[in-house]
Amino acid sequence: MQPRLRNTDPRSVLRVSLMREPPAGNSAHSNALPRLGELELAVMEVLWAAPGSDAQTVRNRLPAIRRRSLSTIQSTLERLHRKSLLSRHRAGKAYVYRAKLQRGELLGRLLGGVIRQLHNGQLDPILSSFVDFADRIDEGTLERLDELLQQRLRERDVLPGRRAQGENDD
């Protein structure tokens, strides 16, 4: 069954893709990252904004709707650490946590995992859906996507080992 999105908030897509079950059987097509729940995502958001936080600081920085008991936050941090998404070190009696991946890195891996799950040999439907989604977010998102694509194409043209546009092997 396909998950339905209630709105076009990009975080909704992230939540759906993080909680989606990997396909049965072939692990080559599964998402290499562990599934994350909404509280785990909220904790990651706090740690991206305030790296080097202990459990109490994380709890205090969570939005009120996500705030749970200190022991629940500690358990969530421990789970994220076991999933290799956080590093930690002791500072007195408490652990201090940092995200191992930046937000963009995690998002890129998750989107890659979703694309691998849905990929059937043709990328056009995936790319078209992504463009449609970007167009629905707001007025500037599609233009920003175009800017990012143009920037990437320029970077590819100047990287060593890559052919400049129009070069042939003749």
- Closest alpha carbon to 142 in 153, 131, 150: 131
The mean pLDDT of 18-45, rounded to a whole number, is 63
CA–CA separation, 132 vs 115, rounded Å? 15
Q: Residue ranges per domain, the chain? A: 8-119
160 compared with 61, residue with greater pLDDT: 61
CA–CA separation, 103 vs 47, rounded Å? 10
What pLDDT score does 163 carry? 52
6 compared with 49, residue with greater pLDDT: 49
In this structure, what token pair is assigned to residue 119? Answer: 């990929």
Look-up: residue for tokens 């003749």?
Answer: 170
What pLDDT score does 33 carry? 66
Question: Beta 86-91 vs 94-99: how paired, if at all?
Answer: antiparallel
pTM of the model: 0.64
Q: Comparing 23-27, 44-48, 90-94, 134-138, which segment has the lowest mean pLDDT?
A: 23-27
Burial 108-133 (b: 16+ CB within 10 A, else e): eebbebbeeeeeeeeeeeeeeeeeeb
Banded pLDDT at 4 (limits 50, 70, 90): very low
What residues have CB less than 8 Å from 23, skipping those under 6 apart?
Answer: 29, 30, 117
In this structure, what token pair is assigned to residue 111? Answer: 């989107």
CATH architecture type of domain 8-119: Orthogonal Bundle (1.10)
